[in-house]
Amino acid sequence: MLKRMMKAAQLIGVTSLMVLAANANAQKDPASADDGVVQKLAHGEINWSKKTVTATGSGAATMKDNVAQSRLMAERAAKLDALRNILETIQGIQITGGRNAGDIMSNGEVKSRITGMAQGFKVVDTKYYSDGSVDVIVAMPIDENLTNALVEKPKASGKSPRKVNTEGPESFTGLVVNARGLGLTPSMSPRVVDESGKEVYGAEIVTEKGLQQGGIASYAKTDDQAKERTGAKPMVMKALRLAEKSKTDIVIANGDADKLRDPNTNLSFLADGKVVILVD
């Protein structure tokens, strides 16, 4: 009997160790957690991996009408509050190293255009409270329309679009630049420059088709996430540092820059905006 009890205890101990080990591995496995690149702002958040803007709106119950009517009014107030907050969050989106969406939305026409887009937000969750108040969580995509409203095109800036070679066999399906550890700030229109500061990749290269993905680059924490935009066979590079006086633009080695200027390599993935920047 004693031997059986000792054996059972040993089995329990081994099983416990296996469970602990499994839990530890689960914690280390990046795929087991939400690895999206999320930037939290005062009025909401930007998910740079999923290309969405979310915000919460709150509405208080007046209790002057019946319960159902009061709750309906609270929900309407919450949606109006959510609209204000999602617009505030959009204004916090960094567009380039020196400009955010708030700077661009100082133009009344642009602000009106974006307000119209924001009014089409999707309610992703509604919370009702015992006092009759309501919270709504809303989301809208960082899509082609928002990109076109906020990212300056080469024609508008007076620059000539820079074309890349799109002929020949496609050896690569995209570009992944590892910028982990640099403290980079995500933006809709980041630049990749060489060691002398000359632009290698930027908005002037990306076609209208490429802009449909929302911004000229995406951000991810894992290689698997990056493949959603860059495909299974991307060209992979390491960022050396952030560009001078910029938190959004990155510097790559001259040798890597030459690969992205090679007239004999099919670089259609650049024109298509199939670029992902890896961050912490």
Q: pLDDT per residue over 225-246, tens digit each?
A: 999 999 999 999 999 999 999 9
Residues 112 and 65 in one domain: yes
Q: Please report whether residue 88 resides in a domain.
A: yes
What confidence tier does 68 reach under pLDDT thresholds 50, 70, 90?
A: confident
pLDDT, tens digit, 9 for 90 and up, residues 129-141 = 988 899 999 999 9
Q: Please report whether residue 22 resides in a domain.
A: no
Q: Please report whether residue 118 resides in a domain.
A: yes
Q: Please report whether residue 23 resides in a domain.
A: no
What total of structural domains would you count in the chain?
Answer: 2
> What's the mean pLDDT in 197-201?
96
pLDDT, tens digit, 9 for 90 and up, residues 70-124 = 889 999 999 999 999 999 999 999 999 999 999 999 999 999 999 999 999 999 9
Lowest mean pLDDT segment, chosen from 57-61, 212-216, 251-255: 212-216
Q: Among the residues of the chain, which ranges form H helices?
A: 2-28, 67-91, 101-104, 108-118, 144-150, 154-157, 208-211, 223-230, 254-259, 268-271
What confidence tier does 29 reach under pLDDT thresholds 50, 70, 90?
A: very low
Who contacts 57 (Cβ-Cβ below 8 Å, separation ≥6)?
77, 78, 79, 80, 81, 82, 83, 84, 85, 135, 136, 138
Q: Please report whether residue 9 resides in a domain.
A: no
Q: Which domain holds residue 207?
A: 154-278
Assess whether pLDDT exceeds 50 at residue 187. yes
Q: Please report whether residue 8 resides in a domain.
A: no
Residues 159 and 263 in one domain: yes
Residues 259 and 170 in one domain: yes
Residue type, 40: K
Residues 236 and 134 in one domain: no
pLDDT of residue 163: 86
Last residue within a domain, chosen from 150, 176, 210: 150
Last residue within a domain, chosen from 99, 134, 150: 150
The residues pairing with 52 across neighbouring beta strands, listed in sequence order, are 47, 141
pLDDT of residue 254: 98
Q: Please report whether residue 184 resides in a domain.
A: yes
What confidence tier does 62 reach under pLDDT thresholds 50, 70, 90?
A: confident
Lowest mean pLDDT segment, chosen from 57-61, 97-101, 154-158, 176-180: 154-158
What confidence tier does 162 reach under pLDDT thresholds 50, 70, 90?
A: confident
